[in-house]
A and B are shown apart, each in its own frame.
Chain A
């Protein structure tokens, strides 16, 4: 069985250091397995977030060798390094060890109204064709792990930027044929700290563990937002 050294940023913002832990690794061992091994066998004080262990809950995203990844779905041998550095997600308020505060992330997400908005109160099902579903389906796979925001060079240098996850969620509902709240969302995202802050570095799409394309969603949102702003400018009756 191979051994891998984990360098983990341990402590609090006031006092921290990199601590090294040696972990036995075999084919299929994930970073999350290693974190549990360290906590159970070496250092019981190690703090990290995790829940489902199967890339569904989005709790365990951390920086692995400077790149945001979900710990549960990253197999150690695929990294191909004997020393792996683990740090808390970049761009978030650090609490301790590998734990960051997601409050701001979820506030931003909530601000774009990530739910179906209806003006009527329809009875029965809202039917949709496969083509209509295909327009937004990939964005429904988002697990809110926050890796996209940690990868974004703009988000890590501007705390007010809404970020890729929230903007992709806005596009997901705007592209949904059942939704009637497009202009409500565009009023939020068509802002200097909204979709116009994105400069298409596209690191968010590189980082997404679910292979979603948030960068693409934001660009499509820009096209929608440009139309929305033009209509507003020429007083063409933008209705919420």
Chain B
């Protein structure tokens, strides 16, 4: 099997939203979260340069473009979390015939959570600005 074949999982042709596409998105969002974890550790390591350097760094990442990226990151995390809870439940063999229903219930809950958090972050950001 070639390297190209090993990437066949990412092919969206012929896939269903609640099945194959949800699976692809789950993997990709997992990779984004993993990348973010390393970026977060890198950001924390700025403390090694002293308190002033860290505060300067924080003032950069609290600027509007970074907050917008944070809100996008919340979307990634909420998708991964909501779909992950669905997978944990269904991998016990519960409601496997009701994949579509389970998927959409969790997507709606995830979306509500994301909108709430976005509102909280945006209001504190606007209020604090």
Contact = CB atoms under 8 A, between A and B. Distances in A.
Q: Report whether chain A binds chain B.
A: yes
Given A153-B8, A153-B11, A219 B90 contact: yes
Contacts of A188: none
Interface string B97-114: 101000000000000000
A208 to B, nearest CB: 12
A205 B16 CA distance: 11
Contacts of B77: none
Contacts of A63: 14
Q: Is the interface of B mostly helix, strand, loop or mixed?
A: helix
A219 B1 contact: no
**Chain B interface residue bracket vs A:** 20 to 34
A216 B96 contact: yes
A63 B8 CA distance: 15
B7 A203 contact: no
Given A203-B15, A219-B96, A222-B91, 10 more contacts: A66-B13, A66-B14, A68-B14, A153-B24, A154-B9, A157-B6, A199-B23, A200-B91, A206-B19, A222-B93
A74 interface: no
B19 A201 contact: yes
Interface in B44-81: none
B129 to A, nearest CB: 43
B20 A201 contact: yes
A65 interface: yes
A215 interface: yes
B87 interface: yes
B11, B14, B24: which has the most chain A beta carbons within 10 Å? Answer: B14
Interface of A: 63, 65-68, 90-91, 151, 153-154, 156-159, 199-203, 205-206, 213, 215-216, 219-220, 222-223
12 contacts: A91-B8, A153-B10, A153-B20, A153-B23, A156-B11, A200-B23, A203-B19, A205-B97, A215-B99, A219-B92, A223-B92, A223-B93
- Count chain B CB atoms within 10 A of each CB in A151, A156, A157, A213 and give the residue with the most: A157
A206 to B, nearest CB: 5
A68 B12 CA distance: 14
Contacts of A215: 96, 99
B14 A201 contact: no
B5 A157 contact: yes
A53 B69 CA distance: 55
